[in-house]
Amino acid sequence: MKTSTRLRGPIINTELPGPRSREIKEISEQYEPNASSEQVPIVWKHAEGVWATDMDDNTFLDFTSGVLVANAGHSHPRLVRAMQEQAERAVNTYDFLNEWRPQLAKKLVDITPPNLSRAIVLSTGAETIETAMKIARLYTGKHEIVAFHGAFHGRTFGAMSVNGKRSSPGIKGFGPFMPGVVFAPFPYPYRSILCRGNEDECSERCFEYFKWIIETESEKDIAAVLVETYQGAAGSIIAPKDWLQMIAQWCKENGAVLIIDEVQASFGRTGKLFGFEHYDIEPNLLCLGKGISSTVPVSAVVGEEDIMSVLTPGSVSSTHGGNAFSSRVALENINIILEENLSENAARIGAILDARFREMQSKYPSIGDVRGLGLVFGIEFVKDPETREPAPELTQAVINEAFKRGLVMIAPIGFYGNAIRVAPPLVITEEEALLGADILEEAIAAAVG
């Protein structure tokens, strides 16, 4: 495995943001609506491996992977070469065949369980959710979708309709949404009123509630259950194995399509190629995105023969989906992830970081909960470990202090905006990961005062 040899850091040469970054920020403020999430003020100029340099040549360690995209590291030389070569050959081919799209589909089928035999290549994660719900409805002839509290599936209307946390700015005010969605609880032992104090029974209680909601709140016309293996946006809440197995079994027994949204959890992120591999379950439809290419927008729905066979010409396609450029890059990226054993690296470095974060938790009472799987963590900050009252201001302060010291993290996540997300590129070395953890600890110490 290769990481950067050219860039080393962190190196902070200027105030943040520096003068050149401020110039770009001013253009943004003048010409863009204030719609993006509020992130620390880095203006990316160059990124390589796990290192990012801003417009003023300050160098930061990246604990974001973009937003869990750059699994193979930023600007992996093989991806750069694939992009350069393909840019000179053909880029957009619409639904006409190109040499790469079917090869990518074959690869996706080859690396997923044998029950999945066909793949549709698209552009964004939300598009895979829309597509999977359409297919499930067509296949079952039913209309309801069961989704979960805290879920995040994207920002288009269908995807918004199945997102939990209805008060978030990405949802509130945009409705009404698609009817026929039934929400059920996702096990969240640290906070759920179904589970707190009864953590050992969390799975059983949530599953019982799921069945009760279906009994009482649905028309019993369920096309699909749509679930993430871990809820990233809710604060990296990891589904318990027994609960997800019960959900999968329920789908089998009730003829509902099990759609697993692994737009975020796939391609090595959790220490296995796919998140569902931790659960001994098989999706009927699998939604993939983000780390599928580590770079350009690519996504895919991989599904079972029977289910995919309901599609007819013209029923699913998109302008950019499966173009020659993005398909080639995704194929090369998957080969890199497999050949460089990046899932294994994620598991190994993830275990090291997990131990380090738990050590921090024992030192700082403000760290309420640490959740991790492979190289994705949610670290939840609280005002008081007993009451677990969320501490969103402290969380933002930790992120700001880390940034000043050259560590980039995504803005606070979670139901209460009190969790930080740690998700570096999977090429990270032990030395780099521990350096990032040291910076994070310094930032926590500075923020708690």
Give contact residues for ligand PLP (rule: CB under 6 A): 67, 124-126, 129, 152-154, 228, 232, 261, 263-264, 289
DSSP per-residue letters across 192-206: -TTTTT-GGGHHHHH
Kind plus residue range of the DSSP H or E element containing 231: strand 230-231
Residue 419's DSSP bridge partners are 380, 413
Phi-psi region of 374 (alpha: psi -120 to 50; beta: other; left: phi over 0): left
For the chain, state the CA radius of gyration: 21
CA distance 135 to 141: 10
Distance CA 82, CA 99 (A): 14
Whole-number Å distance between alpha carbons of 424 and 365: 25
Quickly count: other Cβ atoms within 10 Å of residue 93's Cβ: 16
Q: Name, in order, each residue with C-beta under 8 angstroms of 92's C-beta and a sequence gap of 6 or more.
A: 319, 320, 323, 324, 325
Cβ atoms 71, 292 nearer than 8 A: no
Residue with tokens 């999968």: 248
Backbone φ, ψ for residue 329 (5° rounding): -65, -40
Of 247, 230, 238, 237, the closest CA to residue 282 belongs to 247
Residue 11 carries which DSSP code?
A: B
Q: Quote the CA–CA distance of 415 and 280 in Å, as a whole number.
A: 28
> Pseudo-torsion of CA 93, 287, 64, 368, nearest 10°?
170
SS3 119: strand
Q: No. of H helices and E strands in the chain?
A: 13, 16
Return d(Cα 251, Cα 258) in angstroms, integer.
Answer: 6
- In this structure, what token pair is assigned to residue 120? 């549709």
Query: Which position has the token pair 């909960």?
Result: 369
Six token digits for residue 376: 């994705």
- Is residue 270 within 8 A of residue 278, CB to CB? The reply is yes
